[in-house]
Structure 1
């Protein structure tokens, strides 16, 4: 990281201070980029029902790539190099989400976020008066004009309304260019407040769910504490709560749980209250019963294309396999039965072994 150098007896100039600020900001930005990467990240900014038809946004930050200085920074010129900048929302705010005026209609609002850099703190500053050093100028050249004293990195929050539509068919709008989608808020005709279940993060919202102070120690990685939980559902309807909570399903995500009950047929799974989705076997077919046993350790993988959880295995449970097509493939029971001509033939065949 660069540091400005000054000397004893030197006549200090403004660029010494400005460069000190700039170099420190770049150093912090590069550190944040090394930890978070270059994609946008949201931290904090919880969205909850506000007073009346408003959504309350808690304090938080946005991290987004931006120019070091898109406009001149006092005596320093434009610097178009891109770094990861931090925008801060220091205090909670409330954003309006009005209800539609037509019965049977609903509107989905998008809460979107963006890093913005704003020059603030306008003051009329004293400037050196070469003709009479004892009496400073009021503003540049003595004109009494104000100067900005702070360059602020802000977390801007904005609400974008979707098209009004029949309840259940309304669509959340997409973020505007340069903005980051954070939450979808559904407001129905006749509502006077927003119910908490009507507020949800939009798919792909880049919230930082695990900060460094809460990062797992090596022991938690070794004991699989991040992806393992105990089943809290019922037979054929499995559910589990993880820490940190799963907020969105990602293709290839693998989760594990200890089953409380065996399955007797088709089954579903819901982590942390997310939408209930089917569990299918390794052959991508519905479960038939006995693939999950009570007390078994279950491993599932989310398959986005199939919109299902694929059962990778359960200790003590039967394993679903696809039809064998090669000499060293495992065969299913149905294939064996078809080859030996039915159960009687199978019994005879087994008796000859």
Structure 2
């Protein structure tokens, strides 16, 4: 009898775990007054596209690779410029998940032509397309004259109109400034234990010695008791390079005048494992660009980067 009781308790405990898991997986309940515009699980979401009279923005995940979220930016009209593809940041990740399920603060039903004009939905060039694994869903957004304070949305499948929350769409309209990932490396400052600086045919390797509450030292292997303070200060500036968001080029893009010519590179290691690299290059116009193991393409560096380039020769030659 005692054994049967133990078995029964085990079955009940397992059932409880399953129930808890299902509750955790379930989407949050719709708040009072909210309406579901598009009912879909997050894993079915593949692409979100916003467009207006001047351009368009897409957030999408690639079918292969690391599953990262990407941002595609295009302009209208005409095919003169190719769309730009950039890595999307954490703000974009959070925004993307809000489209499945897509919720509205209020449903207004089907409106007549006069009311559609009053709320900015008649002949509006603004569109929203949400692509799921099962197909596309198209919506019309209120025109610019209405503003984002009252983002009305019309579901094209049945003509129903909804009032979205004011925080959902502004990031898409300002995607080039708000949604681009400015991260240069996929690893942090404390994750590498050696780096090699190469300029032309000259290379110099440093071991990284971490210190409590003080900057890490760069130590030449041949003189382990003599940290190179010049190299440390130089590399601090290299590590903190932060290209302006608007100056990030997309995947496959090149600066004006063609591919820039490499000036120097810094390669990072942890033990025998290569973590990544930073390449700094000069464009045909004289400006400096950088790219890393993480960036989608080249990123234009600020004007003061020329001083880093000048000091790179001193660092590689040890004087």
TM-score tier by shorter-chain length is under 0.3
TM-score by length of 1: 0.22
Q: Which protein is richer in helix relative to its size?
A: 2
TM-score by length of 2: 0.24
- Please identify the structure whose Cα radius of gyration is greater: 1
